[in-house]
Amino acid sequence: MFVIRVSFIFFFLLFILPSTVFSFTCLEMGKEEEEEEIGKELFPDILREEAVSRLNELGEVSDADGHLERTFMSPASKKAISLVQIWMEDAGLRTWVDQMGNVHGRADGMNSHAEALLIGSHLDTIIDAGIFDGPLGIVCAVSALKVLKIRGKLGNLKRPVEVIAFSDEEGVRFQSTFLGSAAISGTRPASALQISDKSGVTVQDVLKENSFDATEESYLQLKYDPQSVWGYIEVHIEQGPVLESVGLPLGVVKGIAGQTRLKVTVRGSQGHAGTVPMSMRQDPMTAAAELIVLLETMCKNPADFISYDKHCNGFAAESLAGSLVCTVGEISSWPGAINVIPGQVTFTVDLRTMDDMAREAIIFEISNRMYQTCDRRSVSCIIERKHDAEAVMCDPGLSSELKSAANSALKRVAGEIQDKVPVLMSGAGHDAMAMSHLTKVGMLFVRCRGGISHSPAEHVLDDDVWIAGLAILAFVETYL
């Protein structure tokens, strides 16, 4: 009996145990290989590492030392155009730069004449900008198409896909937003070429300096035929705190607030700071200060200034109280000397709300009260409307597809089914507003730290850049 037991133990150690250990080892190795394959399918080297590197590289392309500044057709803008064009070609796209400096990268797919999906955002920045506002949407889209190229599927698209890096959305130089996307959507007449900056240089002048035709004919030819476009999508940082507060990297945009920009000029009597008695002054600076405080007060408490009877001229009171924001972003005085009462003060007003009728009502009321204040102070007041953009509602079908794509991206990274992608309203303007006049539009928001934007503190997590790229990839994959 003892001999039999010893023999069995010997047999177990010699034959069974090694095979068992081998099978466990194989299972473990198989699991590791499977995880590695899954990791490769998520393409972190392109959609995360390379994308983040490119965003940082673009962030160094600036016209200023010490901060990011890249405005329409500036030297830095031209360098950024070249850089993005190289990246588009690297992704297998056919590229060109149009007569407004917009960069295009197109994959024709199996049918170059089919209606195209357009994906875009802007290359220009504000002064002292962050690196994600605009470029994030461009870089993520190019990266997603590069993945398709590597997989050998770029030519299998059922419809053309075109990425557009718009030359101007912020409107910093010419105080007129959407110069790039408005030309393509046909929402601006050719007279846009005659808009001038503070130095009196026109859009046409700048384009000609950069070897563009800049004729009315070349400008009008930029407009896309609506029959050639299937839809437009845009990925953009949220520029708000909602996604961070709910702990999710992506959100679907339901609509974009309407916007009006005003230029207010207050003129008084220029004089010596030490010789004109206070009671006899017609000081446009103090008048402007009162106007700015008036603006803030009205926008914080619109119901105190406009009478409501549930509805006022067709809009609900809640549409103002819930979404109205007003901002004075620039102020300047002439002659601007410390010992002189200025003769003129100019400031800008940026006013936004989701309800266009409500926006018109508040502008009417603000203008009237500003004129009354100027009359009381014996100064003149001129209010000019420099820019108007109607509120835009995103296409429900596109929004649904984007939500599915976002859920797919989250599932692929997190390894679990997610159906939590929130639906948000955008208080910021986007190229999608201009493009909505050409075709149906949809947008995805990407979480940004603290909701901060238009600031060097603007920040998006590397993994969120990755997930945004995966969402675009998932969206485009539906057309394979």
Mean pLDDT of 100-114: 97
Whether the pLDDT of residue 2 is over 50: the answer is: no
- The reported pLDDT for the residue numbered 3 is 44
Pick the closest to residue 304 from 313, 314, 294 (CA basis).
Answer: 294
Whether the pLDDT of residue 205 is over 70: the answer is: yes
Furthest-apart CA pair in the chain: how many Å? 124
Mean pLDDT of 225-248: 96
DSSP 171-220: -TTTS-S-HHHHHHHT-S-GGGGG-B-TTS-BHHHHHHHTT----HHHHH
Q: Tokens 């203008």, residue?
A: 367
CA-CA-CA-CA torsion for 427, 432, 434, 437, nearest 10 degrees? Answer: -120
Distance CA 162, CA 157 (A): 12
- The reported pLDDT for the residue numbered 354 is 87
Per-residue pLDDT tens over the stretch 425-445: 898 889 999 999 999 999 999
- The reported pLDDT for the residue numbered 27 is 41
pLDDT confidence band for 11 (50 / 70 / 90): very low
pLDDT confidence band for 22 (50 / 70 / 90): very low
388 or 193, greater pLDDT: 193
Whether the pLDDT of residue 16 is over 80: the answer is: no
Per-residue pLDDT tens over the stretch 410-428: 988 887 665 678 999 898 8
Q: Percent of the chain at pLDDT above 90?
A: 80
- The reported pLDDT for the residue numbered 314 is 52
- Spatial contact of 352 and 325, defined as CB atoms under 8 Å apart: yes
- The reported pLDDT for the residue numbered 322 is 65
Residues 6+ apart with CB under 8 A from 224: 184, 185, 186, 438
Q: Tokens 């009417």, residue?
A: 364
Structure tokens belonging to residue 319: 């549409």
- The reported pLDDT for the residue numbered 388 is 87
Pick the closest to residue 222 from 169, 166, 172, 142 (CA basis).
Answer: 166
- The reported pLDDT for the residue numbered 307 is 60
Q: State pTM to two decimals.
A: 0.80
Mean pLDDT of 130-159: 97
- The reported pLDDT for the residue numbered 266 is 98
- Name, of 92-96, 242-246, 313-317, the range with top average pLDDT: 92-96
Whether the pLDDT of residue 12 is over 90: the answer is: no
- The reported pLDDT for the residue numbered 59 is 97
pLDDT confidence band for 38 (50 / 70 / 90): very low
- The b/e string for 33-47 (b: 16+ C-beta within 10 A; e otherwise) is eeeeeeeeebbbebb
pLDDT confidence band for 389 (50 / 70 / 90): confident
- The reported pLDDT for the residue numbered 6 is 44
Q: Tokens 């005659």, residue?
A: 194
228 or 304, greater pLDDT: 228
323 or 252, greater pLDDT: 252
Mean pLDDT of 351-379: 94
- The reported pLDDT for the residue numbered 40 is 62
Where is average pLDDT lowest: 58-62, 164-168, 178-182, 316-320? 316-320
Mean pLDDT of 134-158: 97
Whether the pLDDT of residue 309 is over 60: the answer is: no
- Spatial contact of 199 and 450, defined as CB atoms under 8 Å apart: no
Q: Which long-range contacts (CB under 8 A, 24 or more apart) does 138-142 make?
A: 138/84, 138/163, 138/165, 139/51, 139/54, 139/55, 139/58, 139/87, 139/465, 140/47, 140/51, 140/235, 140/465, 140/468, 140/469, 140/472, 141/235, 141/472, 142/84, 142/87, 142/88, 142/91, 142/93, 142/105
